Amino acid sequence: MSVSFIILAAGMGSRMNSDTPKVLHHIAAAPLLHHALTAARNLEPARIVVVTGHEAALVTKSAEAFDPSVECVVQDPQLGTAHAVAQAAPLLAEMSGEAIVLYGDTPFIRPETLEAMLHARARHSVVVLGFEAKDPGRYGRLVTSGESLKKIVEYNDASDEERRITLCNSGVICASAKTLFQLISRVGTANAAAEYYLTDIVEIAQASGLSAGVVICDEAETLGVNTRAQLAEAEAAFQSRARAEALENGVTLTAPETVFFALDTHIGRDAIIGPNVIFGPAVTIESGAEVKAFCHLEGCHISRGAVVGPFARLRPGAELAEDVHVGNFVEIKNAILDEGVKVGHLTYIGDADIGEFSNIGAGTVTCNYDGVMKHRTKIGKRAFIGSATMLVAPVTIGNDALTASGSVITENVPDAALAVGRSKQVNKPGLATKLMARLKAIKAAKGNS
């Protein structure tokens, strides 16, 4: 079954009190829009169209960063939800399959729910996603008769009797692309807001002899984000669900409530995640790896048997092979660490390749930036880098080579060689006592002045 998605992302989000478009605010280290795009992509759609408006260029850039095949159109002026969907007509009107309308500020619609809507299309021309609300508030109400959906009435236009209905409208709608755009072309503005309401297509369908039905989901799926408070609520909801899924999938979380996942975090079974670990985007952890407390990870891959932390930071491009050990207060960026490498503590490894079973001493720094360009450090197999070594890139350390502690290495080191790059030590007998006495005298003089 061919399906296309129309994602509405044109609103300003004035209640967020922000210069940033609402759909670009983040939960789980990803824009709200990316959550909606993820839900759509899970159904392997033929087309995805994002309808932009406020700060259209920024929203388009974000959508294309997620998936370059996403198509964006601009709604200007913004005359309501039906008008927004109509902007996608030039791209999708000739599509023979289904069309589903999603919202860029509603991040939790599950793929299973969307599939249920597609299945319901076998019985109805138009399918609306509804939910039973604990507090219906100002949601639009779904007016039904048996299995048939008669109409959707917005709160401002609802009678007292209709406002007592608890079955509410999520805004998500499914129909064939052809039917959807035909119905939208007949929507008018006879409502309290004088806007083109997408919800009006239900009554128009009924009047045309087409049936409309409802698929009901859990209210939590329909959580929309309009305020900072709702953004925080959405973050908490995502994290709670992600933690539960990780535990169910065989991941050990020693203090689940302190671990924060990103939208695209992937962790294999039997991995162990310690307290206060933060996942940024694009992290993959293989089965059997361990991340200890207070680590921050983003854009990295950790292989089976590797141990990271505590207090380590892995930045984008960090690739850890099997049985690598990265210890406390170590930062890794754009570096490949082969099997068995050990980087114990207090070290920065950036733009580097480290061969298997090499050992990197405490306080080592790959000096990768010359103020204009980045340069790469290459360390061979079984090398031993002494503590406090400065590796001034570009530089290559050979297999089985050693560097003396405190060295500044500016030239390549051959295989099996010992490199010493430090000044000769000179001792001045008695000078320490004299120097300290002089410094104390200067301090005392300043105190009396």
Note the helical H segments in 333-378.
none
Specify the 3-state DSSP secondary structure of 246: helix
Q: Can you name the residues that pair with 337 across neighbouring β-strands? A: 320, 354
Cis peptide before 77 (omega within 30 of 0): yes
Cβ atoms of 397 and 385 within 8 Å: the answer is: yes
Catalogue the E-assigned strands of 154-246.
Answer: 167-176, 212-216
How far apart, in whole angstroms, are the C-alpha atoms of residue 86 and residue 75? 9
- Give me the count of residues in the chain: 449
Q: Which residue has the tokens 């300290």?
A: 436
- End-to-end, the C-alpha distance of the chain in Å comes to 88
Cβ atoms of 282 and 267 within 8 Å: the answer is: no
User: For residue 83, how far is the Cα from the chain centroid?
Assistant: 30
Tokens of 166: 């608890």
How far apart, in whole angstroms, are the C-alpha atoms of residue 100 and residue 60? 20
**Known catalytic residue at 375:** no
Active-site entry in 34, 119, 296, 345 = 345
Specify the 3-state DSSP secondary structure of 444: helix
Short-list 43, 198, 174, CA closest to 120: 174
Cβ atoms of 231 and 116 within 8 Å: the answer is: no
Active site residues: 345
